[in-house]
Structure 1
Amino acid sequence: MDNEKRKFYVSIESGEISEYKAGNNDDFIIYGDPEEIIALRELFDDLKGAEGATGFRATIPFKEYHNDDENDSYDYHFMKCYKMIHNLGDEATKQHIETMPFYNQFDKISDEQ
């Protein structure tokens, strides 16, 4: 398998990872080998699944956000996506993510899949 790192454009909002810049898919620029890109795609799938669960949970009245497993799962997957993008990112991507308020929480997120 070709393990050479290639340039990709990433949009967390759309869940897009592309070798081609198109539209607004360039929120972040990363460099990854095929295995790393597959792992990031899987993280995006996990995030989308967690997002769906929070939408369903939102229909339950009087359930507090801070006491909610579905929201905890979404937050965890959200942070895991950003951590991996940071790890694979170019210098501008790394610097941008390091300004985000949750960056200092990355050490609490495991790199294991």
Structure 2
Amino acid sequence: MEKRKFYVNVESREISELKAGNNDEFIIYGTPEQIIELRECFEDMEHADMGTFWRSHMPFKEYHRDEDNDEFDQCLLKVYKMIHDLGDENAKQHVEQMPFYDELNKLD
């Protein structure tokens, strides 16, 4: 299937074929299936983010023993791996400069 151009903003978790505002943090090229997978990663991040919000209201549960936090981190790594794999040269270079870049190669 033919790949199409998309604009991605990780912070707002936006994926769009149209450039608008600041949604062009990264430019990627993907098939509909790849974009669905990326959207699912953003949805998983949203779910984990909500879990960390609720955990923050329970002072007896330690941050470093929070499964939702771990899930959020794993989702974020997967998002950046996909951006690196599907991104244009600028996106690839940007991700390669991130301190956790070596961790991306450990993902399946």
Q: What is residue 36 of structure 2 aligned with on the other side?
A: 38
1:61 counterpart = 2:72: no
Give the letter for the 1:42 counterpart: E
After TM superposition, give the deviation of residue 85 of structure 1 in Å.
1.0
**Identity percentage over the alignment?**
60
The equivalent residue for 1:11 is 9
Displacement after TM superposition at 1:65 (Å): 2.3
- For structure 2, the 5+ residue unaligned runs are none
Q: TM-score, normalised by structure 2?
A: 0.94
Alpha-carbon distance in structure 1 between the residues aligned to 2:65 and 2:103: 19
User: What do residues 29-78 of structure 1 show as CA deviations (whole Å, max 9, x unaligned)?
Assistant: 00001111111111111111111111111111143322221111111111
Corresponding position of 1:78? 76
Q: Secondary structure at the match of 1:26?
A: coil
Measured after TM superposition, the shift of residue 19 of structure 1 is: 0.8
**Partner secondary structure for residue 8 of structure 1:** strand
Code of the aligned partner of 1:87: D
Q: Is the 8 A contact 2:52 2:66 kept in 1?
A: no
- Paired residues in the alignment total 108
Distance 1:108 1:65, change over 3 A: farther
Which whole-Å CA distance do the structure 1 matches of 2:68 and 2:31 have between them?
31
Kindly report the root-mean-square deviation, in angstroms, between the aligned alpha carbons of the 2 structures: 1.0
